[in-house]
Structure 1
Amino acid sequence: MRGTNILVLSPDPADQMYNGRWRDILEQLTTSLQHFGIEVSHAAWTRDLRMVPHRPQLVLPLLAWGYQRAHEQWLDTCKDWQRHQIPVHNPPDVLQWNSDKSYLKTLAEKGAPVVPSLYFDEISTSRLRESLSYFDVDRVVLKPTVSATAYKTSIWEAGQLISDPPEGSCIVQPYLRSIETEGEISLIFISGQYSHGLRKTPVAGDFRVQPEFGGRLTHHEPDQSAISTATKILETIGTSLLYARIDLVLNQNNEWALLEAELIEPDLFLGLDHKNGHMLGEAILNRINGQDIEQEKQMT
């Protein structure tokens, strides 16, 4: 299909993430989609999308990095997209919901296998000590409820000072030693179907698996239990998603558990996809043509 055009949302030029590796990811995405005749342009997520030239047929927030530092603006912008019927996918209501990690609590309450978590309006040493006892561990991971790319994320153990603590609400989880040995696996789903997977492992002495911190990324074929776990999580979310990246870790019982459901701006790691983004290209065309919606109606 020639003449198909999509818009990918990128970091705001004023945000520090603008100097990150998003251009390399955009290039990979563009290369994968051009085989479907899909033209890709980009604009900052903070821009008024009604003013961009050549009104896009679909808007993907895949590179809208930095929203965590302007969260209220992000929420307002999502509402504007919804109000003005901008064709953003995943849908704006999903983008709002997924931007605060308290969504993990919602999924856990619905029965999804989530890494055990405690939520606080603000952090203190006494609350961290309580968390050690609650999880029966000697170390916990502390992060803001609004965070990305390990922003203000740290490990704490008794006797330590809180290093670069979150400001405001936060989430505390047990430190899982499987991160050091097994790393974290990411399962990419396109229109609800499994596409490809990868393993992310940290450098020695670190727990952060992101490439920005030296994390190593390799293609990975997940076992059926991992795929079943990720599928259950998507079913619990219960929304028709164009894309999703489900990040899993082995918990203290050696079972797969959800660390993050990345539904806003995940790197889909198309360079590790042996299908070279074929599923994503087809899904974009189907979404533009309304086929996904029709299929969903038929299923219900």
Structure 2
Amino acid sequence: MRLAFLVPAPDYPDPWRWAFDAEAAALERRGVAVDPVVWTDAADLDRYDLILPLVTWGYHLRYTEWLAFLERAERERLPVANPPELLRWNSDKAYLAEFTWKGIPCVPTIEAQALSDADLHHAAQQFGTSELVVKPPVSASATGTHRIRPGDAIPAGEREQRMMIQPFLPSIATEGEYALIHFDGVLSHTLVKRPKAGDFRVQPSLGGTTEPCDTPDGAEDLAQAVLAAAPAPATYGRVDIIRGLNGELLVMELELVEPALWLDVAPHGEAAFADAVIAAAERLSK
């Protein structure tokens, strides 16, 4: 069995081997051959039993190319896990509105089609808080994400752009953000991500830390509701959950494209990861 493990373009600036190495090693220990393939230059994919986009980091910076790759995968019926239609749906965080419509508690979100000062003032009034977070709906690694107050200068790169506005939740700096990792819909392990002192972004490249933890009461029920609301089953997925202003658990994100699975700090998840990937390869290569 041979897998194509899609990895970032050479100009992608952040370290990625820490995620790839742990995931590839978990598969190689099961006798699976793993080839790293740059996703922006993936010409020959027909010879692989499975294509994993788990480290397509930077797709949000080359979004037109990413959508073209997904169209190609569908056209050529490439064995991709997760499936291309699910990856496309999950690439734009407009899916949070779908969850809200279905009654799933999510971080309150307003989408501004062209972010303005008026949008910030309206959001602050609706959320009942003076501190906000703005982020692009197509984003990763906290790109374009800012903590801001109404009246603050909107960063030039985000003004008049399609953006999501959310309340700033102080629990990110105290309790942290929980990441529930699932393989074939079954919880494998839970982690807590925390920002460095004085920041609110939890990404490792920005000084954030991640460590295994117990799953908070009620978090897995929430995660299962989210996974069930997705348009197709997922071989792998990460549900990010945070505590709201009133102590309630809220969905921050469902990541089905290229989530860090944190096998480097949670090696007890290796077996479930390998089982799910091998099962997907056997199913899709028939």
Cα distance between partner residues in 2 of 1:100 and 1:158: 25
Q: For residues 110-259 of structure 1, what are the structure 2 equivalents within 5 Å?
A: 110-166=102-158, 168-259=161-252
Alignment of 1:260-299 (within 5 A): 260-290=253-283
User: Alpha-carbon deviations, 1:170-193, whole Å to 9, x = none?
Assistant: 100000111111110100000000
Distance 2:229 2:103 in 1: 8
Q: What is the aligned partner in structure 1 of residue 7 from structure 2?
A: 10
Asked if the contact 2:113–2:163 (Cα under 8 Å) also holds between the matched residues in 1, the reply is yes
Contact 1:113 1:233 in 2 (8 A): no
Give the Å deviation of 1:68: 0.9
Give the secondary-structure state (helix, strand or coil) at the position aligned to 1:272: coil
- Contact (CA 8 Å) 1:152, 1:164: kept in 2 or not? no
Instruction: Give the RMSD, CA atoms, in angstroms.
Output: 1.7
Match of 1:37 among 31, 39, 42: 31
State the distance in 2 between where 1:108 and 1:45 align. Answer: 33
* Among candidates 71, 75, 80, match of residue 88 of structure 1: 80
Which of structure 1's runs of 4+ aligned residues deviate more than 4 A?
none
TM-score w.r.t. length of structure 2: 0.95
Following superposition, the deviation at residue 58 of structure 1 comes to: 0.5
Match of 1:297 in 2: none
Distance, in Å, in 1 between the alignment partners of 2:276 and 2:167 is 37
Partner of 1:296: none
Q: Write the distance in 2 (CA, Å) between the matches of 1:238 and 1:101.
A: 14
The answer for unaligned runs of 5 or more in structure 2 is none
Q: Secondary structure at the match of 2:62?
A: helix
Q: Aligned-pair distance for 1:163?
A: 2.7
The CA deviation string for residues 3-49 of structure 1, in whole angstroms up to 9 with x for no partner, is x1111111112x3x2x4221222111121112211111111111244
Measured against aligned partners, the alpha-carbon deviations of 1:139-170 in whole angstroms (never above 9, x if no partner) come to 11001111100001001113311135426211
Report deviation, 1:276.
Answer: 4.5
Q: What does 1:52-71 align with in structure 2 at a 5 Å threshold?
A: 52=45, 55-71=47-63
Query: 1:242 Cα deviation (Å)?
Result: 0.4
Identity of aligned residues (%): 34
Structure 1 SS opposite 2:268: coil
Q: Which has the higher contact order (CA 8 A, sep 6+)?
A: 2
Provide TM-score, normalisation by structure 1.
Answer: 0.90
Amino acid in the other structure paired with 1:5: R
Aligned residues of 2:5 and 2:51 also touching (Cα < 8 A): yes
CA deviations on 1:86-105 (whole Å, 9 max, x unpaired) are 11110101111111111111
State the SS of the aligned residue for 1:56: coil
Q: What's the secondary structure of 1:131's corresponding residue? A: helix
Unpaired runs of 5+ residues, structure 1, are 294-300
Specify whether residues 60 and 198 from structure 1 end up closer, same or farther in structure 2 by C-alpha distance, changes over 3 A only.
same
Looking at structure 1, the residues matched to 42 and 274 of structure 2 have their Cα atoms a distance apart, in angstroms, of 26
The residue aligned with 1:97 is: 89
Kindly provide the amino acid, as one letter, of the partner of residue 251 in structure 2.
Answer: L
